[in-house]
Structure formats: structure tokens, C-alpha cells
Amino acid sequence: MQSPKELTQSADKAAIGLSFICALHCLLLPAAIALLPSAAMFGFDDEWFHRLLLVVVLPISVFALVSGLKRHQNKSVLTIGITGLIILIVGAAFGHEMFGETGERLITLLGSVSVAISHLWNFHLCQLRTSKIC
């Protein structure tokens, strides 16, 4: 069984990885479809992919950021993370209709980067907090 610290670190790492996957999807998929038209048959460009990532990212991110806040008391980390999550939700729910395909990709990329930065900062602050206690 993982300790609360290890669980928070694992959640931060998972959220960073998922944010990276989301960013790669937004950046590389158009090139892959242009270069390999058969890639379009797999449907990775569908909205379900964004929604699936959100369903996974939201609880992991909220858990890690709130757990980290309890440890390091830095509300800026939580603010950046929640802002990134809101941007991702807006992008997935309304991005294509409101901003077009390019705008949706930019919004999703901005949200993903914000979430990743907040988790990297959260992880770092939790590590500093742990090393000061030991």
C-alpha cells in the first residue's frame, strides 16, 4: 500500500503523462493524418478521445493537487491546475464550435501545458517539503 505522499507523487506523474499525451495528440495527429491518411480510419480525431482523457485526468489531477496543497500550502499551484482543467473542459465541450479546429487545438494545448506545469510544480514542492521534514 502506498503512503499518502507516494500516492500524490504517483497521481502527479500520471497527470503529467496524460497531459503530455493530450498535447502530443493535438500537435501530431494532424501531421499523421496528412502523412498517413489511413490513420484517420482509427478515429483518434474524434471528440470521444478528448472526453476520455478528461474523465481520466480530472479526478487524478484534483486528487494530486489538493493532496499537494495540504502538504505545501501553495495555492498558486492549485489555481494554475484548476485553470488548466477548466480550459480543457471548455476546449472539449465547446472548442470546435466556438473557436474552430485550430482554436480548439490551441486551447487544448494551453490547458494541457497548464495542467502539466501545475503538477510539475506540485511534485517539486512536495519533494522540498518532504526533504525538510526528514
Global pTM value:
0.74
Which DSSP category does 2 fall into?
A: -
Which is more confidently placed, 134 or 54?
A: 54
Residues 6+ apart with CB under 8 A from 51: 92
Comparing 130 with 13, which gets the higher pLDDT? 13
Domain extents for the chain? 4-133
pLDDT attached to residue 133: 47
Q: Are 57 and 17 in contact (CB under 8 A)?
A: no
Residue 29 has pLDDT above 60, yes or no: no
Cell numbers 493530450 correspond to what residue?
Answer: 22
What's the pLDDT tens digit per position in 103-119?
A: 888 898 899 889 989 99
Question: Distance from first CA to last CA of the chain, Å, rounded?
Answer: 21
Per-residue pLDDT band at 134 (split at 50, 70, 90): very low
